[in-house]
Amino acid sequence: MSETAAFPVAVCQFRPTASRDENRARVAQQTADAAARGARLVVFPEYSSYFVDPMDATLIENSESLDGEFVRTLQATASAHGVTIIAGLVEAAGERVRNTLVAVDADGVRATYRKQHLYDAFGQTESDWIEAGELGAPETLEIGGLRVAMMTCYDLRFPEVARTLVDAGADVIVVPAEWVRGPLKEHHWTTLLAARAIENTVYVVAADHPTPIGVGHSQIIDPQGVVLAGVGTGEGLAVAELTKDAVTRVREVNPVLRLRRYGVTPR
């Protein structure tokens, strides 16, 4: 595919619940709607397979493996519409669970990402139930001539996560989230999304939960921090076209990746 070829991407903002059946149905429906608008990559929020607020032991009871019913539904839906889907899965991990992102197409799971920075902030303690993902080489996938990588929600506050993804070749960073509402939280969300795009000269594709628990404002942002498309505070979806050429042009005039003098070392 040429660098100028457009690659349509959708962000889907929906409200996952404690009904796994309902969540799968909503994902299938929004994928169909996104595909009808031309999307080839469809991005859903964190905890798309199952969500309760506050978190409790039902997370463990409703966790699934990477070959469980949720992922099988994603694969069937992706196959039916000729798309790749990225969504949040509550993954089984023994006495706890993992907060996992899966990228799935007609052939199955293409890549995974397990949340590295748990949301132990603003009065929340995600680590009571979640096992943090191990640090290591990021998994990426190529779609439509673009290299795509993933991070989850609170990881957005740690710029070194995005840096490691870009060092692995990412042109697009996908950010499924459940960005909890609170004082200035909407401001933090939109500011940090734009910052990660600008400082890394990448597209950022972010899908959040709607209000009242999340802040909404799922967005597709270009490598200069410009919002190409977005959703408000309710359920909905937005579609925008990405190109490799846009990434290349921005990096030619603003070669921040080449000029950086600091590396990222995990601890």
- Residue 61 among the catalytic residues: no
Per-residue tokens: 137: 């080489």
Neighbours of 153 (CB within 10 A): 28
- Determine which one of 64, 153, 186, 244 is catalytic: 153
- Determine which one of 115, 139, 178, 244 is catalytic: 115
- Residue 185 among the catalytic residues: no
Angstrom distance (rounded) from CA 26 to CA 201: 33
- Residue 153 among the catalytic residues: yes
Helix (H) or strand (E) holding 219: strand 219-221
CA dihedral over 249, 253, 256, 259, signed as positive or negative: positive
Of residues 219, 215, 244, 241, the one with CA closest to residue 230: 219
Neighbours of 106 (CB within 10 A): 14
Longest dimension (CA), the chain: 51
Is 119:70 a contact under the CB 8 Å cutoff?
no
User: Which 8-state DSSP code applies to residue 40?
Assistant: S
Angstrom distance (rounded) from CA 166 to CA 200: 7
* Beta strand pairing call for 219-221 and 227-230: antiparallel
Which amino acids are annotated catalytic?
Answer: 46, 115, 153
